Amino acid sequence: MEILIDQVILDKAHLPAASLKPLSPHIFKNTYKQAYSKHKAGLMLAISGPSGVGKDSVVSKLDPQLFEPTKNVTTRTRRVHESTEAYYWLSKAEFAQREQAGEFVETNSYDDNRYGTWRPAIEAILERHKVPVFRVDPQGVQNLSSAQAEGDELFKNYGFVYIYLLPPTLEELKERLHHRTLQEKDLSQQEVLQVVAKRLQLVDRDLSFLPQADYVAVNSTGQLNELAKEIEQLIISLTQ
């Protein structure tokens, strides 16, 4: 059964529904973007979207024999029950030192924290002949695209595919953000509402990047495995 994209989301992103061509139940091709061209050495995959949409959950379901998530660097506090393997955790001072040394392909800020894509981690994945999967916010994807356009050696001979992950509705995303905030911080109910409101403002900003995506995917509740399989099939088709 084909999944429909929330019209409210498309309106906020200023993306006409007619520009999205269904490829599978959960994935749509953005026909506004130029068709992906194959590169002899393979490709890299960016899975992005607003906070709370489920980027980590989707990436965790991809076949580890073919895909490997890049391990990003962050200065934020580790969430309750979050694996120590999810990120490289650095202080803001350590982050600044590594940034100055040129160790990051791109960096960005979100919710008063710094995030970076660590170059050695990507190089190691490519040496293992797997598809590197970037789990970054939309600003981070734009930075990666800029690095590729500017001729960064890391991207030489590699294609770059950008999938933008959406929730079924904005209301469901709000519920997910509320749940995440409760997990992350010891806050009063009023403080939780304030944090969620701030993050929803960032969602509006992030949706402005939606028209830049190659593909749009809907992360429907209870259909995580199905979505991951569709992403795998899409990427395999692009490399054949």
Question: What tens digit of pLDDT does each residue of 38-64 get?
Answer: 666 788 999 999 988 999 899 999 999
Look over the chain and give the mean of its residue pLDDT values, rounded to a whole number: 88
| 116-133 pLDDT per residue, tens | 888 888 999 999 999 999
d(CA 155, CA 160): 8
- Whether residue 33 is predicted with pLDDT greater than 70 in this model: the reply is yes
> pTM for this structure?
0.86
pLDDT value of position 64: 96
d(CA 4, CA 168): 8
Range of lowest pLDDT (15-19, 199-203, 209-213, 221-225): 199-203
Classify the C-alpha dihedral 14-218-71-36 as positive or negative: negative
pLDDT value of position 196: 83
- Whether residue 37 is predicted with pLDDT greater than 60 in this model: the reply is no
Domains of the chain listed by start with CATH number: 7-239 (3.40.50.300)
Higher pLDDT, 86 or 67: 67
Q: Percentage of the chain surpassing pLDDT 90?
A: 48
pLDDT value of position 80: 72
DSSP category for residue 137: -
* Overall average pLDDT of the 55-75 stretch: 93
Burial call 121-152: b when 16+ CB within 10 Å, e when fewer? bbeebbeeebbbbbbbbbbbbbbbbebbeeee
